[in-house]
Amino acid sequence: MQDRLERMLKYKEPDFQERRALATQARDKALAKLRAKPPVDPVLAAQRAAAAQAKAAAELEKRQQAKLAREEERAAKAERARLEAEAAAAAIKPALTDEERKAARDARYQARKSRKGAR
């Protein structure tokens, strides 16, 4: 415990100059590491760029195809809705005129009368 206390008492915060020197050393070390790296082959760089461009073009084409498919689906859905609305409108019976209602009533009356007379 005493040893730990002595170490804590001996610890001194690094001042600005020490921190600056450490930062300079770290920067120099990183730069040396980058300089030691072999240069990129121009042919390889061109191949990578071409591959990236081809990938981007393929992605753009894929997005355009998906957009066209969505638009076609919307158009088909709208056409189905229009056809359903037309079918529903055709299924609705038009309102009968007074003469048609009277003729239907008379036909029912005649049918009922003929059933009673057949007994």
- Residue 109 confidence (pLDDT): 92
CB atoms within 10 A of CB 95: 7
Percent of the chain beyond pLDDT 70? 97
Indicate the pTM of the whole model.
0.44
Least confident of 21-30, 31-40, 64-73: 31-40
Which residue type occupies 33?
A: K
- Residue 4 confidence (pLDDT): 79
CA 48 from chain centre, in angstroms, equals: 29
How far apart are alpha carbons 63 and 68 in whole angstroms?
Answer: 9
Instruction: Find the mean pLDDT for residues 104-111.
Output: 92
Q: What sign has the CA pseudo-torsion 10, 16, 18, 22?
A: positive
- Residue 119 confidence (pLDDT): 59
> Phi then psi for 13, rounded to 5 degrees?
-60, 135
Q: For 46-96, write each residue's pLDDT tens digit.
A: 999 999 999 999 999 999 999 999 999 999 999 999 999 988 887 777 777
